[in-house]
A and B are shown apart, each in its own frame.
Chain A
Amino acid sequence: MTAYIIRRIFYGILLMAGVVVLNFFLIRLAPGDPAEVIAGEMGGATKEMMDSIRATYGLDKPVLTQLWIYLSNMLQGDLGQSYFFNRPVTELIGLRIWPTILLVIAAQVLAVTIGVAMGVFAARKPNSILSGFVTVFATIGYAVPVFWMGIMLVILLASIFPVFPVQGMLDARLHSADWLTKTIDILYHLALPAFTLAIIYLAIYARLARASMLDVLGADYVRTARAKGASEGSVLFKHALRNAALPIITVAGLQFGGLISGALLVETVFNWPGMGTLAFDAILRRDYTTILGVLFFASLMVVIANLITDLSYRLADPRIRTGGA
């Protein structure tokens, strides 16, 4: 198991090196002088600034040397300087990554738990109204643009039914409050964005859980469990769901990249101060260093999520645990 984890981590580092190489070539392929691309279109970089960029990135050296400088800088955590925000990119993202992680995890937890519960109950009676509702809901969830869903909720909740805050992460008046008040206020602000993001993915899990539960509920061991008199709850959640969990875990891992993409859109709707709003601001200002930094960290989040998925896969299924590596 340890050897396996080490191998996976090593592979993750390789993938991240790949992302850095990709970033490097994107800068070079973009139209214009790479130094200008790095400086961004800030409407007049001084000559000294351009010279310092050329020196830092070794832009007068051969391409391979440049790649090496870029790669070693990036992997040491130096993602360059944002010339628009006038701060190191790592520092900028360090401030913005936690709100995004919070949003993504909250949405994922909501989507998986509600989705799986819906799917399980739909699978119990495949021809019931609830089951039909899950199918319809899943199709609708797939087709709604997530940002539009957010906007609709803002309109609904801000003007007609004002329960949850629709903008930001923390009430401005609470900046000096104690941590408990702050935590509660953040969770209060989190409700809408997390729910918006969850609705889209909830549909996927409901549909998947329904299908894989239907598969499992016909299995012999479920009949055995029923025959020996196990309660319905125990049959559903202990015998059936544990066996139906593998496809759900797989998809939860695969969806993570999509979830981050969705989070970027939802953040801009709700002004959630995460990497999405940062990327949005950076794009408006053509601040490429920051955009590429966001791409780097978002990819890192996916790599880590994949690693966790892999490990939980092994915990959920003892056959994989003892079988492989």
Chain B
Amino acid sequence: MTDPATSAPDLLQGTGSAEAQSPLREAWRMFRRNIPALVGTAILFVIIIVTIYGSFLYTGDPYDIVWAPHEPPGVTPEFPLGTDYLGRDLIAGLLVGGGPTLVVGASAAALTMLIGVSIGATSGYFGGWIDNLLMRFTEFFQVLPALLFAMVLVTLFSPSLTMIAIAIGVVSWPQTARLTRAEFLKIKNLEYVTAARAIGAKNGRIMWRVILPNALPPLIVSATLTVGVAILFEAGLSFLGLGDPNTMSWGLMIGSNREYILQAWWPVTFPGLAIFLTVFAVSLIGDGLNDAFNPKLRER
């Protein structure tokens, strides 16, 4: 694109020294040196690969009753993690249950970002009564306790994975909206935005092609953390039995076994560890991105 409006920021940044690197490349350089962030990336990568290919390699049906109930882990070689209250293989459940958790987490986070960024950007860019109205709307959504509101939505409509993702998205966008608004307020009066406007760029172009790319760093960090929150939400909803009872997920495994925790600790412990590891990995990545985008904060 050789559009003058989009290249305005590049022009301004291009006036620096020849060695100056693009902020993204700089951030990537920082991220690569951040050991916790790399560990997080590795863990998440392994979890995703295992979830995708695990069910092909390990051909057990998670719904099949294959053994005596509550077989402890490490006793029977065929079922290294033991069985649950019905005698179902825990490893099979863990492998299959990761998929819904990850997919719902990622799509709910995407929806959160979509709603939050649209509302926040409109609010921050236009200001005035639009800002006022949208911020009141946002405050209203912040008053509703998120998990409870999501519970209500899933109960009233349908307990499907799609509905769970929508419900999580609908309840968790306000913080993203506030963050986006703050970034837009900060950036919209900078010179390159004025320059773009002077060239005759329309509002939509300025918002999405000029301001948004420059507001991305904090939004990327927030999107990463949102994935973690969404996974925890999904787990909470499935734990309460609000998920689709026919779709195996880590939260559902904990929820359906919770009545027997005093007889058998393993059917709830392993899925919980899986959730913890996933969210932990995601948050390490988020912290790493944050440090990479804000090198100044890191020196503290």
Q: Which residues of A contact B (CB under 8 A)?
A: 15, 18-19, 22, 26-27, 29-31, 37, 126, 139-140, 142-148, 151-152, 154-155, 158-159, 211, 214, 254, 257-258, 260-262, 264-265, 268-269, 279-280, 283-284, 286, 288, 291-292, 294-295, 298-299, 302-303, 306
B235 partner residues in chain A, CB cutoff 8 A = 145, 147-148
Offer 29 A-B interface pairs, CB within 8 angstroms, sorted by A. A15-B139, A18-B140, A19-B140, A22-B144, A30-B156, A37-B156, A139-B284, A142-B228, A143-B232, A145-B235, A145-B236, A145-B239, A145-B275, A151-B272, A155-B262, A158-B262, A159-B262, A257-B142, A257-B143, A257-B144, A260-B145, A261-B145, A261-B236, A265-B147, A265-B236, A265-B240, A288-B156, A294-B148, A302-B144
Within 8 A of A (CB), among B235-290: 235-236, 239-242, 251, 254, 258, 261-262, 265, 268-269, 272, 275-276, 279-280, 282-284, 287
Are B144 and A139 in touch, CB under 8 angstroms? no
B148 partner residues in chain A, CB cutoff 8 A = 260-261, 264, 279, 294-295, 298
* C-alpha gap A30/B146 in the complex (Å): 19
- What are the 9 A-B residue pairs with the smallest beta carbon separation, nearest first? A261-B147, A148-B272, A143-B279, A143-B280, A30-B156, A260-B145, A298-B145, A257-B145, A261-B145
Instruction: Say yes or no: is B67 at the interface (Cβ < 8 Å to chain A).
Output: no
Majority SS at the chain B contact face: helix
Residue of A nearest to B154 (CB): A283
Residue of B nearest to A22 (CB): B144
Evaluate whether A211 and B300 lie within 8 angstroms (CB atoms) in the complex, with A15-B139, A299-B144 already known.
Answer: yes
**A11: shortest Cβ distance to chain B, in Å?**
9
**B264: shortest Cβ distance to chain A, in Å?**
10
Are B144 and A145 in touch, CB under 8 angstroms? no
B284 partner residues in chain A, CB cutoff 8 A = 139
B283 partner residues in chain A, CB cutoff 8 A = 139, 142-143
Are A148 and B276 in touch, CB under 8 angstroms? yes
Instruction: Say yes or no: is B28 at the interface (Cβ < 8 Å to chain A).
Output: no
Are B228 and A143 in touch, CB under 8 angstroms? yes
B144 partner residues in chain A, CB cutoff 8 A = 19, 22, 257, 295, 298-299, 302
| Count of A-B residue pairs with CB < 8 Å | 136
Instruction: Say yes or no: is B162 at the interface (Cβ < 8 Å to chain A).
Output: no
Evaluate whether A144 and B155 lie within 8 angstroms (CB atoms) in the complex, with A18-B140, A152-B269 already known.
Answer: no
Are A151 and B258 in touch, CB under 8 angstroms? yes
A260 partner residues in chain B, CB cutoff 8 A = 145, 148
* C-alpha gap A31/B254 in the complex (Å): 30
**A142: shortest Cβ distance to chain B, in Å?**
5
**B203: shortest Cβ distance to chain A, in Å?**
29
Evaluate whether A126 and B140 lie within 8 angstroms (CB atoms) in the complex, with A260-B145, A261-B147, A295-B148 already known.
Answer: no
Instruction: Say yes or no: is B149 at the interface (Cβ < 8 Å to chain A).
Output: yes
A269 partner residues in chain B, CB cutoff 8 A = 258
Contact of B145 among A15, A280, A302 (CB under 8 A): A302
Are A145 and B261 in touch, CB under 8 angstroms? no
Instruction: Say yes or no: is B185 at the interface (Cβ < 8 Å to chain A).
Output: no
Instruction: Say yes or no: is B110 at the interface (Cβ < 8 Å to chain A).
Output: no
A268 partner residues in chain B, CB cutoff 8 A = 240
**B138: shortest Cβ distance to chain A, in Å?**
12
* C-alpha gap A146/B268 in the complex (Å): 13
* Apart from the given pairs A18-B143, A155-B265, 13 other A-B contacts in the complex at a CB distance below 8 Å: A22-B144, A30-B156, A143-B232, A145-B239, A148-B268, A148-B272, A151-B258, A152-B272, A257-B143, A257-B144, A280-B240, A283-B241, A298-B144
* C-alpha gap A299/B156 in the complex (Å): 18
* C-alpha gap A309/B242 in the complex (Å): 33
Most A CB contacts (10 A, CB to CB) among B139, B145, B146, B272 go to B145
Instruction: Say yes or no: is B152 at the interface (Cβ < 8 Å to chain A).
Output: yes
Are B276 and A264 in touch, CB under 8 angstroms? no
B241 partner residues in chain A, CB cutoff 8 A = 283-284
**B135: shortest Cβ distance to chain A, in Å?**
12
Instruction: Say yes or no: is B151 at the interface (Cβ < 8 Å to chain A).
Output: yes
Are B280 and A139 in touch, CB under 8 angstroms? yes
* C-alpha gap A146/B155 in the complex (Å): 21
B258 partner residues in chain A, CB cutoff 8 A = 151, 269
* C-alpha gap A108/B251 in the complex (Å): 26
Are A15 and B240 in touch, CB under 8 angstroms? no
A299 partner residues in chain B, CB cutoff 8 A = 143-145
Contact of A30 among B151, B157, B242 (CB under 8 A): B157
B140 partner residues in chain A, CB cutoff 8 A = 15, 18-19
A148 partner residues in chain B, CB cutoff 8 A = 235, 239, 254, 268, 272, 275-276
* C-alpha gap A203/B99 in the complex (Å): 29
Most B CB contacts (10 A, CB to CB) among A144, A214, A288 go to A144
Are B143 and A302 in touch, CB under 8 angstroms? yes
* C-alpha gap A155/B257 in the complex (Å): 13
Most A CB contacts (10 A, CB to CB) among B142, B148, B232 go to B148
B262 partner residues in chain A, CB cutoff 8 A = 154-155, 158-159
A254 partner residues in chain B, CB cutoff 8 A = 142
* C-alpha gap A182/B272 in the complex (Å): 35
Contact of A145 among B151, B272, B287 (CB under 8 A): B272
Are B143 and A214 in touch, CB under 8 angstroms? no
